[in-house]
């Protein structure tokens, strides 16, 4: 076994604290890499607090992971010691269902294996995430990271990046489309960058007028304060797509009214309480509410390559691991521009 240092929540009511644990030895098809940076995702907090479903404790969060390879298995062909590597939200899937065959491992019909808070398909042991100094992952679920990349700012692409890239690509959002991004946080700021890069006319919808300057700096063409009735009324029926990144409870019906006929509201945020949608919000314009998770491994690599080629990275605040509790508190208040990333050298 590989002795590993990390930060874990021992229960759903405890704060993260140092915890030593063992990872499996590197198997024939495994890649081990030492973690340099790990992004802090809102879902980390949701999961250690059991907001979505009962967790597996102790829990080591973190699924926006970049590092450098230190060991590879005998059958590994795509990585060698010294390479940069990344891992996102998945570390395994069945590999043979219809979705896996179509490179949609994130929708594995048998259930994909999360990077943390899951049970390994082969060893039946809990998976532990990136708030740690090293990790062992099957080669098929390890991603190549450019040597030219800003590694700290690349880490959030493994979740916040792919979670927004994937639906924009799936719905072919681009030139000629009016895209609204609801919420300007870790997901939202990446959605703005991708939407603009793909050629869409991008509007940020936010409850806070204080974020307008940031939205424009990120490339957004327009900004609407959703607590201002006049501004909201002015954009009713104007958007082809709304990418909803909000993870707190909110009224879907208001935003559905902003869609054109045949428009689609795509949910990528994951509130812990269900939304209530009036049928009339949909019937009046043949509108759709859709959802999208992360991307598959092939698409995630495509996204990383696109970002490297187009100089797209996350806007981050680098923190020490000991400051994670404060980071969570600030994240809940929306006080981050726009993603915390842990420098794992501080572990």
Each residue's pLDDT tens digit, 273-312: 899 999 999 999 999 999 999 999 999 999 999 999 999 9
Taking the C-alpha atoms of residue 93 and residue 106, their distance in angstroms, rounded to an integer, is 8
Q: What is the pLDDT of residues 209-233, one digit of tens each?
A: 999 999 999 999 999 999 999 999 9
Give Cα 292 distance to the centre of its chain. 11
Per-residue pLDDT, 334: 84
Question: Do 2-158+295-346 and 161-291 have matching folds?
Answer: no
Per-residue pLDDT, 127: 98
What are the sequence ranges of the domains in the chain?
A: 2-158+295-346, 161-291
* Banded model confidence at residue 332, pLDDT cuts 50, 70, 90: confident
Q: How far apart are the first and last CA of the chain?
A: 20
For residue 61, give every residue at least 6 positions away whose Cβ sits within 8 Å of its Cβ, in sequence order, or none: 9, 16, 41, 44, 47, 48, 116, 117, 129, 130, 131
Per-residue pLDDT, 140: 98
Taking the C-alpha atoms of residue 293 and residue 303, their distance in angstroms, rounded to an integer, is 14
Per-residue pLDDT, 278: 96
Taking the C-alpha atoms of residue 210 and residue 217, their distance in angstroms, rounded to an integer, is 13
Per-residue pLDDT, 333: 86
Per-residue pLDDT, 270: 86
Tokens 């799936």 found at: 170
For the segment 240-249, the average pLDDT, to the nearest whole number, is 94
The CATH code of domain 161-291 reads: 3.40.50.720
Answer whether CATH 3.90.180.10 is correct for domain 2-158+295-346: yes
For the segment 53-62, the average pLDDT, to the nearest whole number, is 96
Per-residue pLDDT, 247: 86
Q: What is the pLDDT of residues 127-180, one digit of tens each?
A: 999 999 999 999 999 999 999 999 999 999 999 999 999 999 999 999 999 999
Task: Output the CA–CA distances (angstroms, integers) from residue 267 to 191, 244, 257, 271, 326, in the order listed.
Answer: 12, 5, 15, 10, 28
342, 37 contact by CB (below 8 A): yes
Q: What percent of the chain has pLDDT over 70?
A: 100
């Amino acid at each position: 076994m590989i002795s590993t240092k990390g930060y874990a929540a021992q229960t759903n009511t405890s704060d993260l604290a140092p915890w030593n644990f063992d990872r499996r030895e590197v198997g024939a098809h495994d890649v081990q890499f030492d973690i340099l940076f790990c992004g802090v995702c809102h879902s980390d907090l949701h999961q250690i607090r059991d907001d979505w479903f009962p967790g597996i404790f102790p829990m080591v969060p973190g699924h926006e992971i970049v590092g450098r390879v230190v060991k590879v298995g005998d059958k590994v062909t795509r990585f060698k010691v010294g390479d940069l590597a990344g891992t996102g939200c998945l570390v395994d899937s069945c590999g043979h269902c219809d979705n896996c065959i179509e490179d949609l491992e994130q929708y594995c019909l048998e259930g994909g294996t999360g990077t943390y808070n899951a049970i390994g398909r082969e060893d039946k042991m809990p998976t532990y995430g990136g708030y740690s100094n090293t990790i062992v992952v099957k080669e098929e679920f390890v991603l190549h990271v450019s040597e030219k990349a800003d590694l700290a700012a690349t880490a959030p692409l493994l979740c916040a990046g792919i979670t927004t890239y994937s639906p924009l690509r799936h719905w072919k959002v681009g030139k000629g489309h009016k895209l609204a991004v609801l919420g300007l946080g870790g997901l939202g700021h990446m959605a703005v960058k991708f939407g603009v890069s793909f050629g869409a006319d991008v509007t940020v919808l936010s409850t806070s007028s204080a974020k307008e300057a940031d939205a424009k700096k990120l490339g957004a063409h327009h900004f609407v304060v959703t607590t201002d009735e006049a501004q909201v009324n002015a954009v009713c029926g104007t958007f082809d797509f709304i990418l909803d990144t909000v993870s707190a409870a909110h009224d879907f019906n208001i935003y559905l009214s902003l869609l054109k006929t045949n428009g689609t509201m795509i949910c990528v945020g994951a509130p812990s309480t269900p939304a209530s949608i009036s049928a009339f919000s949909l019937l009046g314009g043949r509108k759709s509410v859709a959802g999208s998770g992360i991307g598959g491994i092939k698409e995630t690599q495509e996204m990383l390559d696109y970002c490297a080629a187009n100089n797209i990275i996350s806007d981050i605040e680098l923190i020490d691991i000991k400051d994670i509790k404060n980071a969570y508190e600030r994240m809940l208040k929306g006080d981050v521009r726009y993603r915390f990333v842990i420098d794992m050298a501080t572990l």
